[in-house]
Structure 1
């Protein structure tokens, strides 16, 4: 049985992960960390350093400011860390990369299998289409999401940018007067209501438009992906892993 510590257990994603974990026969959440003490089937600590249970994997669905405590705890215990939080700064991403030389870390901006299939498609088609198409990304989320644009939108934008040999630039929204430059990759964020998550990549050409869209209908898709990542990371050696690794080497 894989014993999981869930950081951010009282949040919307934390409660969903807890519910979905009951469908995993070889995995169990044995402790949580959150400043809010909701009623769950396991003990909840305000600080990860207070956790006394034996842990195999730490799963994080919280805020970027938890990163240092998570990295230090996992380094001390020599256990894998699955990071599902978005909004990390460039310095924090560098720190994640550095710690992956010491402990196994799984980091993905989106835990949905569908989103990562879309990302894989973009790797294959972006360079082919770029010459004759303008590229725009539109993402939509609920009104409580704190980071903008979403980590997934940035993931998709970086995939497109890295696939194209010409120099491109990100443009976040638009205002004022001026024509669009072909080298622009537009990124637009919409916040409202209870939208779980929508990401659309538009390739707009002369006389034709190609649209690739992913819509999450429930947070359950992210919870399933996160728990599968915990299964995947159990017993792994140090290194930096992501959804591509999981998709290519699924846990049986």
Structure 2
């Protein structure tokens, strides 16, 4: 399977390249990235119009600002697309949804199998523990650009679904006399060092606390998930998909 890798010179791009070297099924035929002098066995372009290599699927681990160009290339060349980038605005999400009317797109803020299972778990816990307060804490490395993480937003969406979409997000707390609204879910971001990714959903009740945590120990879990998504999306009809469609959680 020939992959066009968007974000080839970034940290996730380099991880995917390393993983693909050990897999005969996947070949990165071309990449889009910055001109950083990073040597690869495939050409890296900064302009989509220069791509001439054979491509079966587009895999995006880049920056949300590239989404219009990515969608344009994928639609014009009729290529299935996997979007694993976060930080999108509501307008950009609508743009992705519109593009899925023309090509198959798998769109997920997190490619980890464990995280996608966790989404189901916390939705069920939220429904089963209606009187418990919910907080979400996410931790990432000091170079992460968006906050809160796309995964934290996904976790909020899941716990909110478990409460019939009656909850509201609160990003951090500061000040005094901050009485907690029963409907609010505090979402807190920590940035430091080389933390790959850690997400905790805390359910606090009367005299008891239940915490569910996922810890990513390396970026390889996201690379493997992205490649699994590529394997899936090339066989799908036009439409918008996510990781739950693959694993049937």
Which TM-score tier does this pair reach, normalised by the shorter chain?
Answer: over 0.9
Q: Cα deviations across residues 198-247 of structure 1 (Å, max 9, x unaligned)?
A: 00000011111100000001001000000111111113211001100111
* Alpha-carbon contact 2:123-2:160 (below 8 Å) kept: no
Which residue of structure 1 aligns with residue 209 of structure 2? 209
Name the SS for the 1:244 alignment partner: helix
Structure 1 residue 187: deviation in Å? Answer: 0.3
Instruction: Tell me, in whole angstroms, the C-alpha distance in 2 between the residues paired with 1:166 and 1:26.
Output: 41
8 Å CA contact 2:122–2:201 kept in 1: the answer is no
Q: Distance in 1 between matches of 2:168 and 2:162?
A: 13
Instruction: State the secondary structure of the residue aligned to 1:189.
Output: strand
**What is the distance in 2 between the residues matched to 1:91 and 1:49?**
25
Matching residue of 1:55: 55
Match of 1:154?
153
Query: What is residue 76 of structure 2 aligned with on the other side?
Result: 76
Q: Which residue of 2 aligns with 1:44?
A: 44
Equivalence for 1:168: 167
Residue number in structure 1 paired with 2:138: 139
Once the 2 structures are TM-superposed, how far is the Cα of residue 167 of structure 1 from its aligned partner? 2.2
CA shift for structure 1 position 14: 0.2
Residues 91-115 of structure 1: per-residue CA shift (max 9 Å, x gap): 0001101110111111000000011
Stretches of structure 2 that go unaligned for 5 or more consecutive residues are none
**SS state of the match for residue 39, structure 2?**
coil
1:106-145 matches, cutoff 5 A: 106-130=106-130, 132-145=131-144
Rounded Cα–Cα distance in structure 1 between residues aligned with 2:53 and 2:164: 49
Shift of 1:166: 6.3
State TM-score, norm by structure 2.
0.96
1:10 aligns with 2:9: yes
Unaligned runs of 5+ in 1: none
User: What is the root-mean-square deviation of aligned Cα atoms in Å?
Assistant: 1.2
Aligned length: 247
Is this contact kept in 2: 1:27–1:231, CA < 8 A? no
The equivalent of 1:93 in structure 2 is: 93
Say whether the 8 Å CA contact 2:64–2:88 is kept in structure 1. yes
Write the distance in 2 (CA, Å) between the matches of 1:186 and 1:173: 6
